[in-house]
Amino acid sequence: MKRTPHLLAIQSHVVFGHAGNSAAVFPMQRVGVNVWPLNTVQFSNHTQYGQWAGEVLAPQQIPALVEGIAAIGELGQCDAVLSGYLGSAAQGRAILTGVARIKAANPKALYLCDPVMGHPEKGCIVAPEVSEFLLEEAAAVADLMCPNQLELDSFSGRKAQSLLDCLAMARALLVRGPKAVLVKHLAYPGKPEDSFEMLLVTADGSWHLRRPLLAFPRQPVGVGDLTSGLFLARILLGDSLVAAFEFTAAAVHEVLLETQACASYELELVRAQDRIAHPRVRFEAVPISL
Annotated binding site for substrate: 12, 47-48, 225
Runs of H (alpha helix) within 176-236: 223-236
Q: Which residues lie across from 287 on neighbouring strands? A: 207
DSSP letter at 137 equals I
Buried b (16+ CB within 10 A) or exposed e, 44-71: ebbbbeeebeeeebebeebbebbeebbe
Distances (CA, A) of 109 to 100, 178, 209: 10, 14, 27
Q: Which residues lie across from 110 on neighbouring strands? A: 80
Phi and psi (nearest 5°) for 228?
A: -60, -45
CB 226 within 8 A of CB 255: yes
Q: Give the C-alpha separation, 104 to 287, whole Å.
A: 35
Extract the annotated binding site.
Answer: 12, 47-48, 114, 151, 184, 211-214, 225
Extract the annotated binding site for ATP.
Answer: 114, 151, 184, 211-214
Q: Which residue, among 71, 81, 67, has the nearest Cα to 33 in the 3D structure?
A: 81
Give Cα 24 to chain centroid, integer Å.
Answer: 8
